[in-house]
Structure 1
Amino acid sequence: MIKKMVNFLFKRVLVVCGLLWFGSGIFAQFTISGRVTDKKGNSLPGATVAVKDSYQGTVTNSSGYYQISNLKKGDYVFVVSYLGYESVQKSIEVSESISCDFTLESSSIFTDEVIVSSTRAGSRTPVAVTNISQGDLVKENTGMDIPYQLSLTPSLVESSEAGNGIGYSALRIRGTDASRINVTINGIPLNDSESQGVFWVNMPDFSSSVDNIQIQRGVGTSTNGAAAFGATINFQTEKVNREAYAEVQSVVGSFHTYRNTLKAGTGIIDGKYSFDARISKLKSDGYVDRAFSDHESFFVSGTYFLNGGMIKANLINGDQETGISWWGNPGYDIAGKVTDRTYNPAGEYLNKNREVKYYPNQTDNYKQTHYQLFYSQVLSPYINVNTALHYTQGHGYFEQFQDDDNVYHDTDYSYYGLDNPIVDGVEVEKTDLTRQKWLENDFYGFTSSVNYKRDKVEATLGGAWNRYKGDHFGNILWAQSGGVDNGYQWYFNDSEKTDYNIYGKVNYYLTDKLNVYGDMQYRHIDYEMDGIDDDRLDLIQKHHFNFFNPKFGVFYKLNSRQDVYTSFSVAQREPTRTNFKDAKADPASYPVAETLYDYELGYNYSSAKVKAGINMYYMYYRDQLVPTGEKNSVGYDIMTNVDESYRAGIELVWGVRLLKNLKWDANFTLSQNKIKDFVEYATYYDADWNKEFKGKSLGSTDISYSPGEVGSSIVSWDAFKGFDVSFVSKYVGSQYFDNSSSNNLKLDAYHVHNVRVHYSLDPVLFKEMSFYVQVNNVFNEKYENNAYGGKWYEQGEELIWKYYYPQAGTNFLCGVNLKF
């Protein structure tokens, strides 16, 4: 009964939000206005003026003036901040409309924000954007992976192979997977150059070293790396701490989960130096059988302050061992019985007594280290430059047991280029074996930008050059029937990829209320592969791409509470290594580059008690690569180009302060995601079992993994000082996991609720001590948030195969945090 009531309330949030939104201004009465300048009296355009503990705030215009209206009588705390200046916090009693100027002093320490300023959207950039502060990250960093920490942001759907949000997890934004989402750390590309994906499992506990995150939905602004086809996620790592500190975090939870984190920093030494470090250990058995995680990571950062600048170095390391679970759960065993939700077929085999056993080392292992070196300098009050060198080194493998009882040919000697051995006078064609598939890669390059900000003009000129080298190879460790040397390498191929880009952005204030935005990017890619693949077919390819990606937009501030914006953007991107590899036997079927035309229109409103926004988007694609519903031998989605497709939707975001100590933040997305004139290709068997692969036109169909409704909600209650309770909800509508819109290949909608309790106090021995308990899936919903599958036809009958990723029922995480 309680669950039904919660679901009922959640699905009707728009009505309540609308009533609160339009009723919020009834009692608003007063205005505060003024000017923000530096000590010399120079105006600071774009400075932020915010009302503390409120949704209300604004930015100064090109002359440094601001205005905040609709304030009720009372005491307020105003916080004023500007890049490169010390923030000011001032208490003001408002009983009438008043004027108040703020003067900011130049920061004695060069701020880290300048590192990411060239790749981020500003407060008056006409894009759909979500900013996540360190405070918000701390609340969400309960031990689960980054996709789950970002779960409450608009249009995002997270998934987990292990079923508990730890290990191999993933996210989609507007139905777009991470291989089409541009992800950067301090402006440096994180996406793997070949797969273009982001493997969060290689970044364990990374968010403990992150200060803030910006998510831009749609194409967004130009940045480094591949173009954004659904969103951009930009991480800024830990900023300089002025005072020395130490922090210990410990988390325990269901499925033998624990995470221990130690952080420490020197503060600023002699006004010149600062050092910060973190080390983490994370383990979990996972909800799914043998989907364990055993991860270690560390982060080290050092900063040397110059006169008006700084040199900063970061070292980010992740080392993971994870039980393979990417095949999912078939739902039914061979006898047709429903399997346990935790069933994992990876590593399954029959021993000589025909008993089911599991290979104990069916694991994925990878180690990745990022080296980053930044130089930033202010050249004048209006110009600063940023340059970064980066190098990422990665190596790892996954190990598998291959049972010769399987129906595939990857236990045949011939598959590995080997002659059949003679055992006891009999020629043997198949054998049980263990094997490893390896990847060793290097990624390096530089990024650079010049930023100009004065009066009516904000401009950036930037670019990057990056080079990737990767070796892919496989070794047989052991074969039961012999005939192969241990460590035999049956394939090797290497690849090189070079890309560079240059971009320019201008935000020009035509008036104090109206600004226009222009953004141009040119990107060039050279990609070469050589050698043989794991099926011993030649993998010799060369591909070259040149892309021009323009973006335009307009932002208009209606008044101190409301603004509107619109934009049009073009993005083009190259296919991934897997896309090319899967088509290697037929060069005529090589995938082609995708093109996206993105139209956005948005409106934002803010007052003391309500903050709300609506964003409408239409994303039209030519040659979009969409999942077929199948996976290749290493768990990647097999993709295909479709001629025309689109995503169209409405994103609603709001926050309401219901009471002084009770607030509600939520978002909801309604969308349509369609392929025009889709042709389904499948295998057909006639009455004589003759096999034919042919296509069938299905007309307009839904794009796979693109639910039409996605929403999240968090109700937060500050019961008393240091103690707060949050009720968190996530709703995801039904979604297909192939492109045929077949109801047999569809994930049901799900609605999951979590409860989080946090308590902090100021003990004598520590600066702060805090505790939290998070109960996930409190109503024990049985659901799956990801799946894959396909179909074939026998004598005209449609037959289905599919695998699901079941998620854990009610489970918990609890933690303690000590600050010294």
Structure 2
Amino acid sequence: LPGAYIKVLQTGQVATANETGLYRVEGLEPGIYDLRFSFVGFKPELRTTRVKAGTAKTIMHVQLKEEVIQLKGLEVRANRMELLGTATTTVLRQKELMAADDARDLPYLLQGLASVLVTSDAGAGVGYTDLRVRGVDATRINATINGIPLNDAESQKVYWVDLPDIVSSMEDLQLQRGVGSSTFGTGAFGANLNLSTLSDRSKPRAELRLGGGSFNTRRATFSYTSGLLGHRAQAREPEGAFLYGRFSRILSDGYIDRASSDLRSYYAEAGYRFARAELRFVAFGGHERTYQAWYGVPAEYIDEPDLRTYNPAGTEKPGEPYPDEVDDYTQQHYQLFYKRQLNRNWYLNLAAHYTKGFGYYEQYKAEQELDAYGLLSPSVCQSGDCTTDLVRRRWLDNDFYGAVWGLHYTNNSGTFNLSWAGGVNRYEGLHYGEVIWAQIYGLSEKDHRYYEDRAVKSEANTFVKATYTIQDRLSLQADLQLRQMDYAYAYRQLNQDARASHLFFNPKLGLTYELGSGSWLFAFVAHAQREPNRNDYVDASPESVPRPERMMDYELGFRQMNQKLQFALTLYYMDYRDQLVLSGKINDVGEYTRINVARSYRRGIEAEAGWMAREDLQLSLNATLSDNRIRKFDEYVDVYTELGDYYQEVFVRENTPLSFSPALIAKGGLQWSPSFLKRAWTLRFFSQYVSRQYIDNS
């Protein structure tokens, strides 16, 4: 095999077979060495040999066997970080995910990772949950599933409550802290989160999972895999159709008062595997009905056992809290994938997708001004009281669709990889509100609609990535992305249509140096840009439209891995221009909005360690020490007069901490799977310390 690649794992030395298949590795000291032989289209071979003192040469004959290249999801080459030595990248495989999955939302599977903070509105991990990485909020974390954008196109968040129990159908998960690798969807400013559900379905399987826990939390999941149907035993390569399906339901009362959740989800997959290609259709989704618990608990109640679960939602209704103060939403995803191995070195990915979302949140509102809802009439306001209690629903009905593709090349030795990917996506959203009941007003029509606005967002994205082993131990990664975004919307207060368009160019460069014995050094620098979100745009005016955010990310680190011990150390500096933050300022149409601050930064050090004390006992530790600040900005504070009027006073703030960005996060975990119980049971312990953090930027 001319061009076959040979690597000595202990020293990092490499060699390439010549046109006759001969290879040579020189300069090895006496000892035992592991050699890895690989070639595209053949199964890698690992051989161990001993170099004896005084021996001129050692001859080893190796014959590689051809193998079928398993074509996995689009995200494998198009989205994922290629440099394995990069300490900021964590991959959780299916076995790890299933072992840790306890029915809580997906962010809780990440809570043990460095720089990650997870919160739950209901307090039990079921329902609305939030994820932050390095203090960066969820709107700045890019998420994809099978390479398809998952972030909401307008709010830029991922609402994991809409995908309950998605972990039960996942193949793996990858988290990249920092800017990370180019991907589809909104720009990543804190992390990339890539999910894959495209598992190998070649083996038949049926599974029923039942679980329960605190706060009356329950989960039931049933899944079925057909295995390959119509597969011929004498076929050289596995071919045939396959089916997979899952149904789940999760219920919880929550820790916070009335913070119940009723979550239902499904996942269905059908496909056909050819000799060198695969066609797969995926449909999944969920429905959630959760009692609202997103207001938080007043700080003065925290130390009072009878009050620390207080929930203000629904309490505007006289007497008992309003029972239907709920969030009710359905999301449905459809994805079609075609993957083909063009030859030994090239393969192609094609994908089309469509996501449908619709739902509302319902609120009882007391003493509402009738004219704000288009309900004002002289007959009602004769006494001068133009207010009423009412129940309103705020609806969102949206469609998101598009196509993505990727073309990938790997040379015979595996030392050079090239990917060219692109995609076009379109989002159409309808926002409207309805009054479904009013206390003193007879509605002239059922479900009176008091506002309505539409938005359309289009995106085109293309990027090129290359990884190249320059020398025996030095690898280079280059990543160039071009992204065009167009957003048509309406100013909320002015009832005036508007449009925003941006073209972003985001280059990235990484270097990895293998020290040998399972150790790597890496350096990474990236430029990232992203557009403001829906509220930034619609709450503005033509005179106060915010600018896109920009950031330079610098990463430097070390990673050590062996059978017993893993250790990683990362230094990072994230230098922002025009970061959007809340300042308290009211714009020219009377709205509190986020403003661009000229300079801000996040810098820190992340340390991670894992130790396998025994085969059945594992210990993990990590800590992040960081400094997160705005260099200078003007804070606006409302000051009220005795007459009830108010004005805004300006305070100049310098080097103030960024909100929700603790200076220290430390975590420890212990996992024990007793060998005397044949590892059928696992005991896990997790603890974390989070230092002081602030809810604003003052």
TM-score normalised to structure 2 length:
0.89
Structure 2 residue aligned with 1:343 = 310
- Secondary structure of the corresponding residue to residue 387 of structure 2: coil
1:400 is matched with which residue: 338, 360, 363?
A: 363
- Secondary structure of the corresponding residue to residue 673 of structure 2: strand
- Secondary structure of the corresponding residue to residue 414 of structure 1: helix
- Secondary structure of the corresponding residue to residue 251 of structure 1: strand
Structure 2 residue aligned with 1:118 = 78
Q: Is the counterpart of residue 191 in structure 1 residue 146 in structure 2?
A: no
- The aligned amino acid for 2:625 is L
Structure 2 residue aligned with 1:361 = 324
Q: Is the counterpart of residue 434 in structure 1 residue 391 in structure 2?
A: yes
CA distance in 2, matches of 1:440, 1:81: 51
Q: Is the counterpart of residue 276 in structure 1 residue 244 in structure 2?
A: yes
Q: Contact 2:454 / 2:489 at 8 angstroms: preserved in 1?
A: yes
Q: Kindly tell me: are residues 693 and 637 of structure 1, through their superposed partners in 2, closer, same or farther at Cα, counting changes over 3 Å?
A: closer
Deviations 1:420-477 (A, max 9, x none): 4535963540011111111110000011111111143211111110000000001110
The residue correspondences of 1:233-312 to structure 2 (distance < 5 A) are 233-269=193-229, 270=231, 271-312=239-280
CA distance in 1, matches of 2:610, 2:572: 21
Q: Kindly tell me: are residues 382 and 418 of structure 1, through their superposed partners in 2, closer, same or farther at Cα, counting changes over 3 Å?
A: same
Q: Is the counterpart of residue 330 in structure 1 residue 291 in structure 2?
A: no
Structure 1 residue aligned with 2:281 = 313
CA distance in 1, matches of 2:626, 2:543: 34
- The aligned amino acid for 2:407 is V
The residue correspondences of 1:697-708 to structure 2 (distance < 5 A) are 697-708=652-663
2:552 is matched with which residue: 590, 593, 597?
A: 597
Q: Kindly tell me: are residues 421 and 331 of structure 1, through their superposed partners in 2, closer, same or farther at Cα, counting changes over 3 Å?
A: farther
The residue correspondences of 1:405-416 to structure 2 (distance < 5 A) are 411-416=368-373
Q: Kindly tell me: are residues 659 and 452 of structure 1, through their superposed partners in 2, closer, same or farther at Cα, counting changes over 3 Å?
A: same
CA distance in 2, matches of 1:380, 1:273: 23
Structure 1 residue aligned with 2:694 = 736
Q: Kindly tell me: are residues 251 and 393 of structure 1, through their superposed partners in 2, closer, same or farther at Cα, counting changes over 3 Å?
A: same
Structure 1 residue aligned with 2:628 = 673
The residue correspondences of 1:89-238 to structure 2 (distance < 5 A) are 105-108=65-68, 110-113=70-73, 115-124=75-84, 128-238=88-198
CA distance in 2, matches of 1:434, 1:689: 28
The residue correspondences of 1:4-23 to structure 2 (distance < 5 A) are none
Q: Contact 1:110 / 1:310 at 8 angstroms: preserved in 2?
A: no
Deviations 1:125-163 (A, max 9, x none): 757211111111112201111111111111100001001
Deviations 1:45-84 (A, max 9, x none): 899x8xxxxxxx99995749999x99999xx999999997
- Secondary structure of the corresponding residue to residue 676 of structure 1: strand
CA distance in 1, matches of 2:247, 2:52: 52
Q: Kindly tell me: are residues 613 and 665 of structure 1, through their superposed partners in 2, closer, same or farther at Cα, counting changes over 3 Å?
A: same
Q: Contact 2:170 / 2:197 at 8 angstroms: preserved in 1?
A: yes
Deviations 1:472-530 (A, max 9, x none): 00111011101433311111100100011111111122111112221111110110014
Q: Kindly tell me: are residues 328 and 219 of structure 1, through their superposed partners in 2, closer, same or farther at Cα, counting changes over 3 Å?
A: same
Q: Kindly tell me: are residues 262 and 78 of structure 1, through their superposed partners in 2, closer, same or farther at Cα, counting changes over 3 Å?
A: farther
- Secondary structure of the corresponding residue to residue 371 of structure 2: helix
Aligned-residue CA RMSD (Å): 3.3
Q: Contact 1:83 / 1:111 at 8 angstroms: preserved in 2?
A: no
Identity %: 35
- Greater CA drift, 116-125 or 436-445: 116-125
Q: Kindly tell me: are residues 607 and 108 of structure 1, through their superposed partners in 2, closer, same or farther at Cα, counting changes over 3 Å?
A: closer
The structural deviation recorded for 1:212 is: 0.4
Deviations 1:11-55 (A, max 9, x none): xxxxxxxxxxxxxxxxxxxxxxxxxxxxx57525899x8xxxxxx
1:377 is matched with which residue: 340, 349, 362?
A: 340
The structural deviation recorded for 1:663 is: 2.1
The residue correspondences of 1:547-586 to structure 2 (distance < 5 A) are 547-583=504-540, 586=541
Structure 1 residue aligned with 2:236 = none
Q: Contact 1:565 / 1:601 at 8 angstroms: preserved in 2?
A: yes
Deviations 1:221-241 (A, max 9, x none): 111111110100000104023
- Secondary structure of the corresponding residue to residue 578 of structure 2: strand
CA distance in 1, matches of 2:35, 2:211: 36
- Secondary structure of the corresponding residue to residue 147 of structure 1: helix
Q: Contact 2:73 / 2:147 at 8 angstroms: preserved in 1?
A: no
Q: Contact 2:87 / 2:559 at 8 angstroms: preserved in 1?
A: no
The structural deviation recorded for 1:555 is: 1.2
Deviations 1:292-341 (A, max 9, x none): 111100001112112311111110111111111111222458xx999611
- The aligned amino acid for 1:395 is F
TM-score normalised to structure 1 length:
0.76
CA distance in 2, matches of 1:70, 1:362: 73
Structure 2 residue aligned with 1:504 = 464
- Greater CA drift, 171-180 or 427-436: 427-436
Structure 1 residue aligned with 2:20 = none
- Greater CA drift, 731-740 or 80-89: 80-89
Q: Kindly tell me: are residues 637 and 537 of structure 1, through their superposed partners in 2, closer, same or farther at Cα, counting changes over 3 Å?
A: closer
Q: Kindly tell me: are residues 104 and 428 of structure 1, through their superposed partners in 2, closer, same or farther at Cα, counting changes over 3 Å?
A: farther
- The aligned amino acid for 2:538 is K
- Greater CA drift, 319-328 or 621-630: 621-630
2:429 is matched with which residue: 470, 473, 481?
A: 470
Q: Kindly tell me: are residues 515 and 394 of structure 1, through their superposed partners in 2, closer, same or farther at Cα, counting changes over 3 Å?
A: same
Q: Contact 1:171 / 1:178 at 8 angstroms: preserved in 2?
A: yes
CA distance in 1, matches of 2:425, 2:510: 29
* Higher-RCO chain (CA-CA 8 Å, sequence separation at least 6): 1
Structure 1 residue aligned with 2:234 = none
Structure 1 residue aligned with 2:4 = 43
- The aligned amino acid for 1:394 is G
- The aligned amino acid for 1:211 is E
Deviations 1:217-265 (A, max 9, x none): 1111111111110100000104023211000101111211111000110
2:564 is matched with which residue: 603, 609, 617?
A: 609
Q: Kindly tell me: are residues 474 and 647 of structure 1, through their superposed partners in 2, closer, same or farther at Cα, counting changes over 3 Å?
A: same
Number of aligned positions between the proteins: 668
Q: Kindly tell me: are residues 117 and 344 of structure 1, through their superposed partners in 2, closer, same or farther at Cα, counting changes over 3 Å?
A: same
- The aligned amino acid for 2:565 is V
Structure 2 residue aligned with 1:685 = 640
